[in-house]
Amino acid sequence: MKRMLTMIAAAALLAAPAAARAKSLVGAGSTFGYPIYSKWFAEYHKVKPGLQINYQSIGSGGGILQFTNKTVDFGATDGPMNDAQIEKAGGKVLHIPTVLGGVVPIFNVAGVKELRLDGPALAGIYLGKITMWNDPALVKLNPRAKLPAEPIVVIHRADGSGTTYCFVDYLSKVSPEWKAKVGLGTSVDWPVGLGGKGSEGVTGLVKQNPGAIGYVELIYALQNKLGYASVRNRAGVFVKGTLAGVTAAAAGAARTMPKDFRVSITNAPGRTAYPISTFTWLLVYPKNPAGKGVEIRDFLRWELKSGQKMAAGLGYAPLPLAVKAKVARVVETIE
């Protein structure tokens, strides 16, 4: 017994300095960014074995909440915090854009492979005003497609999500009626339609219901080889969602980018810009507890330099150069 106690004591003595050296950071939030974040944290752990970064993908809302309550060192969100939320979190929050994503409309119309949509048409469908596939507004956009006289079955996400946020952010910009009647958020009061749980739920419903239309993340559509519609951008060009198109939207918005990066890049200018695009952000405090700020800053430096190259492989659009330079300057101010 005595010997065992001595051994335990010795082990504790040996372990103590090691435990003090192995630092850890905890983050929580966006599920959209989870695949790339977990990749980054794993790769960064190889570069810097002394630091362990734990990330819980609990959703953007939960991320903002935990970040505000300071139960985590950093948060992650797909929609920027509003002024009231920042006030609650102590008034000073840095939004660090990490990667970009797009949202694409998927559809299931017999005999139609290519579909063209624009903002007013999408808003009309989701407001319940355009109810038939052969509606004049849709026929005008698709003169060559044979649109059937079938009712449109509208599908949306039932669970609160950044995908919904990006999609309704776009609808709010292109349709004053949407902005007034429905508004902007991760869960909204949908005027029409059926709710599917998660991207797989939406996809399942669209595939099974003839005449259905829904929306999913670009990554999800690419990974699952789903066909999707092209959307007319602000320059009047029909663009099919691609990673390059999403990055172009960010570049288009870079010139008018506010200093705090809280910017929506839906309906961005530029001929190649894909209009339903969004940043996803890490939330960081400008002043951090001793020792932690340095670690966060070092990680973000590495992420901008090496991490960005991993984005495309996982289906995310990397930051455009102009934005990257601006972000790098802000990262240096973290204490």
Partner 1 sequence: MATAAAPDRIPSVARGAAAVPGPRERAGDRLFRLGVAAFALLILALTAALAVMLAVESRGTWRSFGFSFLWSTEWDPIGGKFGALPFLYGTLVSSALALLIAVPLGVGSAIFLAELAPRRVSDAVSFAIELLAAVPSVILGLMGIFLLVPWVRAAEPFLTRWLGWLPLFRGAPYGIGLLAAGLILSLMILPYIAAISREVLLTVPRPLKEGLYALGATRWEVVRGVSLPYARSGILGAIFLALGRALGETMAVTMVIGNTPQISASLFSPAYTMSAVIANELAEASSPDHLSALVAIGLTLFGLTVVVNGLARLLIRRLEARG
Q: Which residues make up the interface to partner 1 (CB under 8 A)? A: 31, 58-62, 64-65, 85, 151, 153, 158-162, 182-190, 193-197, 201, 204-205, 208-209
* Cβ proximity to partner 1, 64 vs 147, nearer residue: 64
Helix ranges restricted to H, 113-232: 119-127, 136-141, 162-174, 176-181, 198-208, 218-223
Residues 6+ away with beta carbon under 8 Å from 173 = 119, 179, 264, 266, 267
Rounded Cα distance between 101 and 298, Å, is 25
Min CB(113)–partner 1 separation in Å: 23
Rounded Cα distance between 30 and 321, Å, is 24
Min CB(302)–partner 1 separation in Å: 29
Helix ranges restricted to H, 255-309: 292-305
* Cβ proximity to partner 1, 21 vs 225, nearer residue: 225
Give the burial string for 105-132 (b: 16+ CB within 10 Å, else e). Answer: bbbbbeebeebbbbbbbbbbbbbebbee
Min CB(283)–partner 1 separation in Å: 12
Phi–psi pair at 238, nearest 5 degrees = -80, 120
* Cβ proximity to partner 1, 52 vs 209, nearer residue: 209
* Cβ proximity to partner 1, 185 vs 293, nearer residue: 185
* Cβ proximity to partner 1, 38 vs 187, nearer residue: 187
Q: Which two tokens stand for residue 109?
A: 């119309």
Min CB(88)–partner 1 separation in Å: 9
Min CB(85)–partner 1 separation in Å: 7
Min CB(328)–partner 1 separation in Å: 28
Secondary-structure breakdown of the chain: helix, strand, coil percentages, each rounded to the nearest 5 = 45, 20, 40
* Cβ proximity to partner 1, 65 vs 100, nearer residue: 65
